[in-house]
Amino acid sequence: MSRFIDSKVWCPLCNKNVQLLRVAHAAKLVDVHPRTIYRYIDEGLVYARRVAGKTYRVCGECLYRQRSDA
């Protein structure tokens, strides 16, 4: 059961449990450059978690919100 729980994390920006996406994958989904996503992370606009030291997983719902605000 814990395996399923692990796949979702609490996003404080969305106020709910979300699935985190790899940056490359998320970039394709919302059709932006991965660099743009790193900028969102830097600016605290999307929730991200660092995994394995230097890669990130990002909240897709936060990203979609950025897109609709743009």
For binding to Zn ion (CB under 5 A), which residues are involved?
Answer: 11, 13-14, 47, 59, 61-62
Please say which residue, 1 or 56, places its beta carbon nearer to Zn ion: 56
Shortest reach from residue 2's CB to Zn ion, in Å: 22
Beta-bridge partners for 48: 58
Judged by CB, which is closer to Zn ion: 17, or 55? Answer: 17
Q: Which residue do the tokens 């992370």 mark?
A: 41
Is the Cβ of residue 30 or residue 62 nearer to Zn ion in the bound state? Answer: 62
From residue 52, give the alpha-carbon distance in Å to each of 1, 48, 56, 61, 69: 23, 13, 8, 22, 31
